[in-house]
Amino acid sequence: MSNADHEPREDDPRLLLLDSRDNVLVTRARIRGGETIAVSGQAITVPDDLPLGHKLARTDIAGGAKVIKYGAPIGLATTQIRTGEHAHVHNVKSDYTPTHHLADERTRYGSEP
Backbone CA torsion sign across 75, 100, 35, 46: positive
Mean pLDDT of 8-15: 84
Q: pTM above 0.85?
A: no
Instruction: Identify the pLDDT of residue 77.
Output: 96
Q: Any idea what the CATH number is for the domain that residue 82 is in?
A: 2.30.130.110
Q: Are 45 and 32 in contact (CB under 8 A)?
A: no
Q: How many CB atoms lie within 10 A of CB 55?
A: 24
Which residues span the domain enclosing 72? 3-109
Q: Considering only residues 92 and 110, tell me which one the structure prediction assigns the higher pLDDT.
A: 92
Q: How many domains does the chain have?
A: 1
**pLDDT tens digits for range 14-26:** 999 999 999 999 9
